[in-house]
Chains A and B, each alone.
Chain A
Amino acid sequence: MKIQLSIPIVAGVLFLSACGGEEAANSDQPKVEVTVDDEAISADEDFMLPQPISLAHAFKNAGLTYVSGKTNPTSNKDSYSKKIDQLLNLGVYSTDLAYCAINNKTQEARDYLAAVQSLGTKVGLESVFSDKSLIEKFDKNLGNQSALEELIYDIQDKSDAYLQDNDLRYLAAVEFAGAWAEGMYLGIDDSRKNVKNLSVAIVDQMTLLRNTIKGLESHPSQDARLKAVIGMFQDVLATYEGFETVKKAGKNANFKAPELTVEEFDALAKKIVSLRNGIVSPAQK
């Protein structure tokens, strides 16, 4: 939100004019107009996005099983040179970390925690992720799934607090977009085995997409890469909202979720896979 501060400045100029003198009469006086950003005033309609680990849990509750080799390899972490790609893949790795942790794949989860630390530090969250004791805490709780999950929630809490304290919430929005895309990718890929329950979870999580896009659009630097990423997300949303079953379902997300036809489901799956691949392999896009 922008607040124009022209009025007091103009009043000041008028005051100077009222003081008389030849300078006041000089029409060449430069006009003073100041505009400041007042980012602290919230939008009238705001939203709070869930934690990636909660989304992974929702999929697991719906029957998502762990499939080795589906996540984004940690070896990719050094290939993300642009800040936007680092943030998106920090989100991707956060989901992969959660996916491994809730499925008791502790060694894989440990590797993803290291990848999250590495990318987190690169995007400016050193104070959250440079804590060497994170891995130690993780190692201490190996075999205790609940404690590992608590640790992941705790990391998210610290990360959120840091971003909020430093007016960097738009970074969290980009990170969330990556996390959402990875979760949907893992869910939609596995859903063919358990269409009934998982497709409900997928449709539930589609309700996050509109806000995810709003979050991406809130980033102050709308460079070409970010615009391309937003375009990919919008493409998924347009495809989904174009489905007849979705159009008939109405806007209240608490009512019965639309039951996608096989053709609709396949079309959505294609878009999600393309979106996710465009995030984890940015050079291909």
Chain B
Amino acid sequence: MKKLFFLLAGILVLTSAVNQQGDGAFDAQINTLKQECKDLIKATRYEGSKITYYNAGSKQTKSVELFMFLPNEYQFAVSTKKCNSSVTLRLYDAASDVEDRTLIKEYKNTQGKNFVFNTTELNKIYRKKMPEVERLKNLHIEYVIGSGKTGKEAIVLVMGHKA
């Protein structure tokens, strides 16, 4: 009985060690994607980055709030290369608790790629919808993640602005 207990304990420790190693590899991949995103907007001054980690499997929504206080063009690079589940990006002018918030732009089925967008194009769209607003100062990016295979996944977002 004791032998069996130690065997099980050993398996637990080994599993934990393998998972930790797996996490290390995962983090290294995320760092590579972050660098790829930075390279996509390298003509800008780095404003920040946000890695959104989630456990894939069930449908879920995550969001990131961003601030753009300067009138300069802001550029955003997103990597969904570490996503197997479907990912739709929805860009809103306010948080989900604001009833009359406006959907500015939507990017469907973005999983598995890197892509960029900027405030010049977003402001154009936004001003058509909200003529009274001069420019976007606050942006809410919603990641709508579909159901799929279980596992840890992440979306990388890097933001910069032109000097």
Q: Which residue of B lies closest to A146 (CB)?
A: B163
Chain B's nearest CB lies how many Å from the CB of A271? 21
In the complex, which residues of chain B have a beta carbon less than 8 angstroms from the beta carbon of A165?
27, 31
B48 contact from A21, A24, A50, A204, Cβ within 8 A: A50
Does chain A have a CB within 8 A of B133? Answer: yes
Closest to A158 in B: B46
Show the binding face of A for B, using Cβ within 8 Å. 12, 15-16, 19, 21, 23-24, 40-51, 54-55, 57-58, 61, 146, 149-150, 153-154, 156-157, 160, 164-165, 201, 204-205, 207-208, 211, 250-256
B124–chain A nearest beta-carbon distance, Å: 15
Return B139 CB to nearest CB of chain A, in Å: 9
Cα separation A2 to B135 with both chains bound (whole Å): 39
Question: Interface size class for chain B?
Answer: 35 or more
Q: Which residue of B lies closest to A39 (CB)?
A: B53
Residues of chain B with a CB closer than 8 A to A150's CB: 45, 163
Distance, CA A165 to CA B49, complexed state (A): 12
Closest chain A CB from B22 CB (angstroms): 12
11 interchain pairs (CB within 8 A)?
A: A16-B1, A16-B4, A45-B65, A47-B50, A48-B48, A48-B67, A50-B67, A61-B71, A164-B51, A252-B93, A254-B130
Residues of B within 8 A of A51 (CB): 46-48
Residue of A nearest to B136 (CB): A254
CA distance A24 to B46 in the complex (A): 60
9 A-B pairs closest in CB distance = A58-B69, A253-B138, A47-B65, A157-B46, A252-B94, A42-B52, A153-B45, A48-B50, A48-B48
